Amino acid sequence: MTSRVPALDLVSHSPDQTRQVASTLARLLRGGDVLFLQGPLGSGKTTFVQGLARGLGVREYVQSPTFILVMEHRGVLADGTPVRLYHVDLYRLEEQDELTTFGLEDCLSDPSGIVVIEWSERLPAQWVDEYLVVRFEPLADTKRRIAFFPFGTRPRAIVEALRKEVAGGAKRPAAPGA
């Protein structure tokens, strides 16, 4: 958990809007990127991963891997490069020793993989050098605050690009002759 001021702070008014933000983010990602998703149960973490998967062209349904800890999905980056999306859920992790039993190190060392970890608070900080924390806060029934905290050079670049995408989408000029 972090107490820093977020580099980007958004409000989503629906699950579809949360998926859209994540889909936009997915187009900015590349192999080796790591996202830490934090927030209470039901705050939108898995919904966000569904949007990431959609943005990466993943075809199968994405659900939380709570009982199996990690799911691998095949997709493609914006430039057409194949990528693996590793969706990790550490909610049921009871001891840190368990981190080495299900292949998390392999996921994190895959240069063609994007690793998204729900309940990342259970992961020792030294496991990852650079990562993007995405923190979810329920504001109402379907309304969520989504705050982005970059840790490292690459995550800062991702957030800056996302800021431009989000701002650009809100301020597009009218079509000629409109």
Domain count, the chain: 1
Residue written as tokens 């914006």? 78
CATH classification at residue 147:
3.40.50.300
Alpha helical stretches, state H, the chain: 15-26, 45-55, 104-109, 153-170
Domain for residue 176, yes or no? no
Q: What is the pTM of this model?
A: 0.86
pLDDT, tens digit only, all 178 positions of the chain: 444 788 999 999 999 999 999 999 999 999 999 999 999 998 999 999 999 999 999 998 888 766 667 889 999 998 999 999 999 988 876 655 566 556 788 888 899 999 999 988 878 767 888 999 999 999 999 999 999 999 999 999 999 999 999 877 544 444 444 3
Structural domain harbouring 148: 8-168
For the record, the structure tokens of 147 come out as 């705050």
Question: For residue 126, with 0-12 CB atoms within 10 Å meaning exposed, 13-18 middle and 19 or more buried, which class applies?
Answer: exposed
- At 108, the amino acid letter reads L
d(CA 40, CA 42): 6
d(CA 29, CA 122): 24
